[in-house]
Amino acid sequence: MKKVFLSAAFIVSLMILTACSSAAVKLDEQGNGQSVELDTGQKLTVSLAGNPTTGYSWEVSEIDPAVVELVGEPDYKTDSKLIGSGGVYTFVFKGVAPGQSSIKLVYHRSWEEGVAPEEEYEILVNVN
């Protein structure tokens, strides 16, 4: 009986440690230019301030989908109920295969051609 209990306790402990190691990595504006380590299947969340009422939005401009993929569509939540107020764009990425990928996001007006983005955000992701 003691052996069964100890075995069960060991398995539960191992499961908890595994879950902790694959917790989502979260970045914001301060993460710009950083390198991030992910395990295959682990998620990365990037949250950036923006204001679509100005015509600007954040968009993925560079990614290697064989290494990292965008999960779903970016989410946008306003900071206020006031008309014209800004908010936060949230992108969720997932490591899909071992390798290295740059993720570049640009804050721009999608219809403006030949105009440099207002802002750029780039990180280097290493997937194990």
pLDDT reported for residue 23:
87
CA distance 5 to 77: 47
pLDDT reported for residue 8:
42
CA distance 22 to 58: 26
- Sign of the Cα pseudo-torsion (99, 97, 95, 18, in order): negative
Domains located in the chain, CATH noted:
24-127 (2.60.40.2020)
Phi, psi (deg, nearest 5) at residue 64: -100, 100
Which stretches of the chain drop beneath a pLDDT of 50?
1, 4-20
| Cβ neighbours of residue 52 closer than 8 Å, sequence gap 6 or more | 76
